[in-house]
Amino acid sequence: MYRTRTCGDLRLADEGLIVTLAGWVQKTRKMGGMTFVDIRDRYGITQLVFNQEVDASLCEKANKLGREYVIQVTGTVRERSSKNAHIPTGDIELIVSKLTVLNSAITPPFTIEDETDGGDDLRMKYRYLDLRRNVVRANLELRHKMAFEVRNYLDKQGFLEVETPVLVNSTPEGARDFVVPSRMNPGQFYALPQSPQTLKQLLMVSGFDRYFQIVKCFRDEDLRADRQPEFTQIDCEMSFVEQEDIITTFEGMAKHLFKVIRDITIKEPFQRMTWHDAMKYYGSDKPDLRFGMKFVELMDVMKGYGFSVFDNAAYIGGICAEGAASYTRKQLDQLTEFVKRSQIGAKGLVYARVEADGNVKSSVDKFYPQETLQEMKNAFGAKPGDLILILSGDDAMKTRKQLCELRLEMGNQLGLRDKNKFACLWVIDFPLFEWNEEDQRFYAMHHPFTSPKPEDIPLLDTDPGAVRASAYDMVINGVEVGGGSIRIHDSQLQDKMFRLLGFTEERAQEQFGFLMNAFKYGAPPHGGLAYGLDRWVSLFAGLDSIRDCIAFPKNNSGRDVMLDAPSVIDDSQLEELCLQVNIKE
């Protein structure tokens, strides 16, 4: 046997035992006639002791060990005189009687420590070394535990795990597809699934009733901290359900994960908010509710006083930061520069401090009497010591989004976005369509199979933009961790949806004829939800990026720098696939 115990499980109760360990050399320390070596495996670290006076040749062999050498040792467990309270094995050490070097190693390009000296790009290039670090390994252990608990919960709820194909047809109506050329069908292509949406609906037509799958999905889109070209969904679908049934089931799953993974008991129902209110009061369809600073609209209060910036605005709104009146002029100037950055795009920032005596001191004092400033203060419910920050613009939606960025920045600066605090929310009643000015047409806000709310169906003929969707997103701490909808199960309603989205009958039949035909054989009412497993894990691990909970992630350019992918393929492969590469300048 290479080992009889692991490097993380020996305790004082094991004193006197002769054991064999195997693992990697974390570090070596020579102190007089003694050499100490820390041996590491996935389970922990154990201190090894070599004594020059007891066995000089063995000690000399230990002195030649380098970092990350793979070794096997046999020895006797002994109580440690200088204990280490920071590791579980810190009360013991192993007095080594036999050492075998299983594999030597060159010096790694960065230290394999919790606090490493390796930058992101270097660690991604040597990801197999990065995965040896405790903090990264712990993220993957958390991911495993969460996937296990998801399966456990859904199995008890009567769901069946069914695998769906990875090579499917392209549906260019959504995000960009990754496409795969078919050698057997020259000039034709598969696509990697953006989600198993139509396939899980077909499973409902097949009578499977409750389906789930922890599934890889692929989208060829620009990357952010919470996006990767390939990601993992907890994909679910249910038959004979309404929106409330799905929300109840998956709120239950969320509470189960909170309890089992984080030992947090949530008894009260998750808060619910309509999409309209989320945009009106937070400028986002995924508001972070760990803190307040709800938007207050000031059109009626601040217009008509000769301040042209406000007088000509289509929207004036602000937030109140409690206790932030102590901000200096330098800090306020930095906030102004923040909102004027290109990615935010505001023209400027107006501020107002509530003084200790209740009076309001503002950057636009010369335009407004104190009575009006008091009216503004009362609109926020502001108290002495509070700071009011105001933005305006000629586009209400755009200005609210700018105000959203300012709100989140203030939340960060004031320490209100605690990663160990969780605010859970359902955002409901999304618009069914969103209008694209450039194309002069409607697009589905979610996807073309989302059902309108039953009471809004008559509006499809008269005012499609006012139709609400039977759709819902779960948002935790400002992150959309999942979302779904009730699906259209009536072929006539689905036909109407396609027409409103600008599909010709031929195009609809070409892309989705298999689904439409299936509906004709008796489709049950159905709906579902997909959680982002990567986002759930990063949320529970307190990470800023989902990359750190994925074993082999891509970088911000969508590249795997370890495998050097994507890469050029041989001309012979191109010829076999009937392809020619024409790179645009």
% of the chain residues with pLDDT over 70: 99
Contacts with 30 (C-beta within 8 Å, 6 or more apart), sequence order = 36, 63
Q: What is the pLDDT of residues 80-110, one digit of tens each?
A: 999 999 999 999 999 999 999 999 999 999 9
Task: Indicate if the pLDDT at residue 284 is higher than 70.
Answer: yes
pLDDT for 128 equals 96
Cα 201 from chain centroid?
Answer: 25
Q: 89, 8 in Cβ contact below 8 A?
A: yes
| Whether the predicted pLDDT of 154 surpasses 90 | yes
- Interval 554-574: pLDDT, tens: 998 889 999 999 999 999 999
Quick one: average pLDDT of 61-88?
A: 96
Prediction pTM value: 0.91
pLDDT confidence band for 443 (50 / 70 / 90): confident
Among 97-111, 255-269, 369-383, 497-511, where is mean pLDDT lowest? 497-511
* pLDDT at position 359: 96
Tokens of 447: 């996807």
Alpha-helical segments (H) within 20-82: 56-63
d(CA 316, CA 297): 6
Residue 57 confidence class, pLDDT cut points 50, 70, 90: very high
Mean pLDDT of 249-270: 97
Q: pLDDT tens digit string along 176-190? A: 899 999 999 999 999
- 37: closest CA among 54, 19, 23, 57? 23
Measured over the CA atoms of residue 242, residue 245, residue 248 and residue 250, the dihedral's sign is negative
Q: In sequence order, which ranges of 349-500 are alpha helices (DSSP H)?
A: 370-380, 396-413, 459-462, 491-500
pLDDT tens digits for range 489-504: 998 899 899 999 988 8
**Predicted local confidence at residue 409, as pLDDT:** 97
Residue 390 reports pLDDT greater than 80:
yes
Given pLDDT bands bounded at 50, 70 and 90, which one contains residue 175? Answer: confident
Helix, strand, coil fractions of the chain, as percent rounded to 5: 30, 25, 40
Q: Mean pLDDT over all residues of the chain?
A: 94
